[in-house]
């Protein structure tokens, strides 16, 4: 007899019984290294403030996912997939859309993905490195921090799209409301989109210089003329991001950095109507 009167051989049957007794939990399953994670942002998700956590299943069996999230020091919270059940077929990939949290502007991007999955009724949890082939996360962090810096100096709000009576261009009017804080924001240039091109002196270009510096004294309005990028009816029918206006901005910490300015639904409809009339496309 050993200490406390338990014979060494008595432990073996107890361990064997653990596989069949209801009180003994099975070991959590492991996730194959052939399951990988990539992050990107489909065009339809840009205006919605979401990204896609793409899980690729390189195994020969379907993968049942019950949770997914991204963690990175430069976000104030995890980027969490809001659903709780998805099936990734063998050899395929699935996009799990997740809303973006706010950012920590003084932290670096270092993402890790956590996947919760089920095998034979048993839940497992695994971490994966995140592939970011388009440098999406650093860009989102940079643009969000730029937006915060701009907001410290002024609020820029699209007011209306002035449609021409006969001759192009259409003019986007942006209200500028300075906060009164010290410092400046310079709108260096405006870029084109999949649908629109800015113009300068009647000439359309992919990039038009603005050179507008905003401080506590104004200006209080910015006007930017646009014409259609190309008269392609498919571009209009399939548009996702053609009315999100890229402005290139300089602040105290950023130089000519892209900042995306979305318009309202009504203003987008006005741009669509202008595009249709300018290009002679059938309406309705």
65 in the same domain as 149: no
Taking 90 as the threshold, does the pLDDT of residue 137 lie above it? yes
162 in the same domain as 107: no
Q: Is 12 a member of any domain?
A: no
pLDDT of residue 71: 98
pLDDT of residue 18: 52
Among candidate residues 233, 181, 186, the one with its CA nearest the CA of residue 212: 186
Structural domain span for residue 171: 139-279
Taking 60 as the threshold, does the pLDDT of residue 220 lie above it? yes
Digit-coded pLDDT (tens) for 147-202: 999 999 999 999 999 999 877 899 999 999 999 999 999 999 999 999 999 999 88
pLDDT of residue 47: 85
Q: Which two tokens stand for residue 197?
A: 């091109």
pLDDT of residue 159: 98
pLDDT of residue 20: 52
Count of structural domains, the chain? 2
Q: Is 14 a member of any domain?
A: no
Domain boundary among 108, 134, 160: 134
Taking every pair of C-alpha atoms in the chain, what is the biggest distance, in angstroms? 103
pLDDT band at 23 (very low <50, low <70, confident <90, very high): low
Whether pTM > 0.85 for this model: the answer is no
Taking 90 as the threshold, does the pLDDT of residue 132 lie above it? yes
Pairwise pLDDT comparison (282 vs 196), residue with the higher score: 196
Q: Which CATH number do you get for residue 125?
A: 2.60.40
Among candidate residues 260, 257, 284, the one with its CA nearest the CA of residue 272: 284
> What is each CA distance from 3 to 8, 15, 52, 75, 175, in whole angstroms?
10, 19, 57, 54, 83
């Amino acid at each position: 007899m050993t200490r406390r009167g338990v014979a060494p051989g008595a432990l073996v049957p107890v361990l064997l019984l653990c596989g069949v007794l209801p009180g003994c939990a099975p070991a959590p399953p492991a996730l194959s290294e052939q399951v990988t994670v990539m992050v990107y942002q489909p065009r339809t998700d840009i205006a919605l403030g979401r990204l896609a956590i793409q899980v690729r299943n390189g195994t020969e069996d379907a993968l049942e996912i019950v949770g997914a999230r991204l963690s990175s020091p430069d976000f104030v919270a995890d980027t969490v997939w809001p659903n709780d059940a998805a099936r990734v077929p063998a050899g395929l990939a699935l996009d799990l859309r997740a809303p973006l949290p706010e950012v920590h502007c003084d932290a670096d991007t270092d993402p890790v993905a956590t996947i919760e999955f089920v095998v034979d009724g048993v839940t497992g949890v695994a971490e994966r490195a995140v592939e970011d082939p388009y440098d999406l996360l650093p860009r989102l962090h940079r643009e969000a921090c730029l937006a915060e810096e701009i907001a410290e100096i002024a609020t820029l709000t699209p007011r209306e799209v002035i449609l021409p009576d006969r001759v192009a261009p259409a003019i986007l009017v942006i209200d500028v409301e300075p906060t009164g804080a010290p410092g400046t924001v310079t709108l260096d240039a405006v870029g084109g989109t999949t649908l629109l091109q800015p113009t300068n002196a009647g000439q359309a270009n992919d990039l038009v210089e603005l050179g507008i510096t905003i401080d506590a004294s104004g200006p209080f309005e910015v006007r930017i003329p646009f014409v259609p990028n190309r008269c392609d009816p498919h571009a209009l029918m399939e548009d996702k991001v053609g009315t999100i206006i890229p402005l290139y901005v300089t602040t105290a910490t950023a130089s000519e950095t892209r900042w995306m300015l979305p318009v309202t639904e009504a203003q987008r409809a006005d741009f669509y109507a202008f595009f249709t009339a300018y290009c002679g496309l059938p309406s309705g």
